[in-house]
Chain A
Amino acid sequence: MNDTLNQWFANCALTPGILGCGVRLPDGNCMSQSFNDSCPRERLDQSLQSLGDCLSSFPAHGLVPRWLTWTFEQGQLRIALRPDGFLLGLAIQPNSPAAENLDLLTEEFLALNLTD
């Protein structure tokens, strides 16, 4: 896996409140990490595929999102797509340091140099 992405994943793990994170690669494969039982890795992968497909349907509705935040009672899912096809999925606990830094984490991901 891309070292930059690997390091970014590791940094994510340091943030309290991250339930899981994953990236769908431009070739369609997903790689996820789970930090909480509420978000098993395989299910994160499936959610990422599904929400990624949903995101790609938004331009047909005249909406080109920078990112989407799906809010549930006990967690939020941030989905962001880079122009090069890397799709981010972050599952976080509400009212946690991760929630407070969600935009920062997303911006970091969008700015990562993943050309290696």
Chain B
Amino acid sequence: MDDEINFLETLRALFTSWSKNSWQIECASSADQALEILKTRPFELIVVDVNMPVLDGEQFLRILARRYPDLKKAAITGHATEERRSACLASGAELFIEKPRSAEGLKSVFTMLDELVTWKQQTGFQGMLRRVGLQDVIQMECLGRNSSLLEVQDRQLTGRIYIEDGRIIHAVAGEATGEPAFQQLLSLAGGAFQLQPFEAPPQRTIEGQWEFLLMEAARVRDESSTQTPATEPVAEPGPPPAFEAPAPAPDFSLHVAETLICSGQGTLLYQWQCSDVRARVALMVEIAQQAARVGRLLSLGKFDRLEIQLPASRAVAQVKPDRMVFVQVATKTGNS
């Protein structure tokens, strides 16, 4: 999108040729024209001139980010400044380019855009088990009712935990499957994991509620740790087991700061590190009452959970007729 028609036509001719006709290019000389074209069919990439009359490129990029979150966006300008670059990237552009003044420059722009189109964003995240409790990640996935596949690996064992809509439905660890496999994976002292998009498991071997599965795994882990011989080598700090990862693993520090589970009526069933259990139960009851009030006002269906974004942590309060669960997870990220 650019208000300089000649520039657009030059780009269309050159990019079509350089892409060996694999690119189908539409040109728009204004934001409203671009929006009309975007409605006609799916597009992979839009290149936006930042200096446009009426609606400037930054505002237009923000609108695109909301309406077409999967569309890749590049901003282009004849007057590049650091401020403008930051503003465009903050507005959703993946690429910020200065308008080239030569054919070589245009070829370079084409190469960058071609890279952007073919680049696939990596989904999921990765971390190290000795810094992130596996149970912490599972709790967050289950509370968030997510569907995911957790691949776990240490030096001897490889396993997978399948989570569907917040329920643990299958686990495999080496030759073991089901709950024994799940407990084996949660007993690992170190290793690495990757949270992958969900895929259907070959079978379903686990049916229990995740809260009790985690408690049982904790009990098994505690028992096995008291039986560990004194000569058992302690996991040494060092590089995580090799993963075919495109970038160095980020240093995730994530730990559960507090857990509370009570019945639907507010009777305490389990708590860990709650400084004031009575106050926390009172908060859960207040959340349940508030959710019921809003549920009567707005037609949004049954209440599921409240997510609380705190400055350095996050908490989830889930309210069900038979139970209320509160988990607070402190997070910190940095580079190792």
Chain A interface (Cβ < 8 Å from any Cβ of B): 11, 14-16, 37-39, 43-44, 46-47, 50-51, 54, 57-58, 61-75, 77, 91, 97-98, 100-101, 104-105
Contact = CB atoms under 8 A, between A and B. Distances in A.
A68 B307 CA distance: 6
Interface stretch (B61-69, B107-115, B181-189, B222-230): B61-69
Interface residues of B, number: 35
Interface string B271-295: 0000110011001001100110111
Interface in B2-17: none
Given A64-B311, A69-B306, A38 B299 contact: yes
Nearest to B307: A69
Residue of A39, A71, A91 with most partner-chain B CB within 10 A: A71
Interface in B292-336: 293-295, 297-311, 315
Contact of B66 (A14, A46, A67): A14
Given A63-B315, A67-B309, A97-B69, A54 B301 contact: no
Contacts of B65: 101, 104
A51 B290 contact: yes
A97 B68 CA distance: 7
Interface centre among B280, B286, B287, B307 (most CB of A within 10 A): B307
The residue among B62, B293, B298, B307 with the most chain A CB atoms within 10 A of its own CB is B298
Given A15-B66, A69-B309, A61 B283 contact: yes
B304 A71 contact: yes
